[in-house]
Structure 1
Amino acid sequence: MLYTFAKYLVWFIFKFLYRIKIHGKENIPKQGPVIICSNHISNFDPPVVGITSPRVIHFMAKEELFEKKVLGFLLPRINAFPVKRGMRDRNALRQGLELLENGGTLGLFPEGTRSKDGHLQKGLAGAGFFAMRSNATVIPCAIIGDYERFKPLHVVYGKPIEFKSLEADNPRAQDVTDEIMANIQILLEENKK
C-alpha cells in the first residue's frame, strides 16, 4: 500500500522536476523473476528506477540507512532490504534469491556506490551471483542526465541480456557482472543526449 502511494507521489514530483522520459519499458517481462541492473549516478536513482518500471522492485540498500530513524521505518515498507557493504552478506544474498525464486523483481546497482564523475565504474560480483543462481531475466538499465531541474532525465531499459558467449567458459560471477556492465555501457553510449 505504501509502495503504491509512494510510487505515484514520487512520479508526480520527479516527472515535474526532471522531465523523465522512459525508453524500452516493453523490454521488462510482465511475469517471472527479473533483475534490473542500472548505473548509479545519484541518490535519486532507486526511486527513479522504481517509478519508471512497470514491476514492483525490491532494492538492496546499505545497512547504515536502516539505522536512521525515518529511513529505518520507511525503507522496509517500500520493499528495500539491508546489505552489509564490503563483505559477503549471506542474509542479503539469501533474501535476494528467495525474492527471485518467488518471481519477484530485484533492483541492483552493480557499481555498489555512486559514480563521482558520471562514468560507469567496474561492477561488483554480486549482480553476477544473482544472475547465475537464479533463472531471472536480466535487464540492463541506463539513467542518462544530470538531475538538473526541468531538464530531461532519460531512463533506458535494454533488451534482456543473453549470456550465451559465457556459457562454454564456465564463467565466474565477476565475468557475468562484467557482461552486465558492458550492456549498460552500450545503452549509455547509444542513448547519449
Structure 2
Amino acid sequence: MPVPRTVAGRLVLIVEKGDRETSFRIMLRLSFLPRNSSFTWKLAYVTLSLYQKLFYRITVEGKEHVPLRGPAVLASNHTSGHDIVILGCSSPRQIFFMAKQELFEKNPIVSEFFRRAGVFPVRRGKSDRKAIAHALKLLRDGCMLGMFPEGKRFPALGEGKTGVVRLALKAQAPIVPVAIIGARDINHMRRTRRWHRDRVLVRYGVPIQVKDDPAHSRDMDAAYTHAQELTTRMMKAIAEMLPPEMRGLYA
C-alpha cells in the first residue's frame, strides 16, 4: 500500500495499520490520562470535534431531546465504524459506549484511548455478564449509554435485539432513538490527493419512557413479549427518522 501524502492520510494509516514507534509515543502520553473520567472525555470530545471538522460536515437535529442529566440510553442505527465518533461529537453530554471486543484487539492506541474515555468492550454473540453489569452500574450512577441495537453494521436497518430495552427497563432509563445518515459514505483512505468533507446528519428523536411491570419477574413469557414490543417501538422510531432506502426491516 502506498504511503498517503497528506497529514490526514498518514494519521489514518498510523491508527488503522499501526506505526510501532509512533504508537509507543502516543501510548506513553495516554498513560497519564485518568480512566473513565470526565476530563478524559472532554479531551476526547475536543479532539474528536477537531477531527470531525476536518473530515465531516455534521448537522444535528433534535438535540433538545437528549436528557442533560440522569440515566438514558441512546439507541442508534449502525452503518459505519465512524458512528461512535459522530455520536460523541453531536451529543451535548458524555456518552459511555458499549463497543465490540474486536475494536480493543486491533490497535493499542485505539484500545487505550477508548478505555480512558469510558468506552468498554462487549463480546458479541454471547451473554457477556461483565459488560451487562458494567452498563447497568453506569445507568444507575446516572450516566448515558450509547448502544447499537442491531448488534452489528447494516446499510439498511436490521433486526433490533432486545438487549437495549432490557437494560433500560432494569435501570428505568429513557431510550432516545437516534438516526445517523451519511456515515456509510465516509472513506478517508481515498482522500490522499483531494480534500473533501462528507455530509452527515444526526437526528435525535423523542425519548421513549420505559416502565417495567413487577409481575414480569414471575412471568418470563410476558417479560419477553414486553421487551419485544418495546424493541419494535424503538426500532420504528429510528426508522421514521431515516430515509426510505435505509429503513430496512422497519420500512
The TM-score with structure 1 as length reference comes to 0.88
CA shift, 1:163, in A, is 5.2
The answer to whether structure 1 residue 126 and structure 2 residue 163 are counterparts is: yes
Residue 180 of structure 1, CA deviation: 1.1
Aligned length: 188
Tell me if structure 2 keeps the 8 A contact 1:31–1:103: yes
Contact map agreement 1:37 1:139 (CA 8 A) in 2: yes
CA contact (8 A) 2:62 2:205 kept: yes
The amino acid of 2:112's aligned partner reads F
Whether 2:50 is the aligned partner of 1:3: answer no
Give the superposition deviation at 1:29. 1.0
Q: Deviations over 1:126-179 (max 9, x none)?
A: 112112211111100000113374242100001111458x97x75343332222
Residue 2 of structure 1: how far off its partner (Å)? 2.7
Q: Distance in 1 between matches of 2:113 and 2:101?
A: 13
Q: Which has the higher contact order (CA 8 A, sep 6+)?
A: 1
Residue aligned with 1:20, SS: strand
Q: Secondary structure at the match of 1:19?
A: strand
Report Cα offsets for 1:64-121 as digits up to 9, x if no partner: 2223422332211111111111001111111111000010000001111111xx2101
Q: Secondary structure at the match of 1:60?
A: strand
CA distance in 1, matches of 2:74, 2:168: 10
The root-mean-square deviation of aligned C-alpha atoms, in Å, is 2.3
What residue is the counterpart of 1:187 in the other structure? 241
Q: Which has the higher helix share?
A: 2
Q: Which residue identity is paired with 1:179?
A: R
TM-score by length of 2: 0.69
Separation in 2 of the partners of 1:147 and 1:70?
21
In 1, distance between residues paired with 2:180 and 2:111? Answer: 26
Q: Which residue of 2 aligns with 1:142?
A: 179
Percent same amino acid at aligned positions? 39
Based on CA coordinates, which of the two structures has the bigger radius of gyration? 2
2:231 partner SS: helix
Equivalent-residue separation in structure 1 for 2:98 and 2:209 (angstroms): 24
Question: Match of 1:26, as an amino acid?
Answer: E
Output aligned runs, 1:52-131, within 5 Å: 52-68=90-106, 69-115=108-154, 118-131=155-168
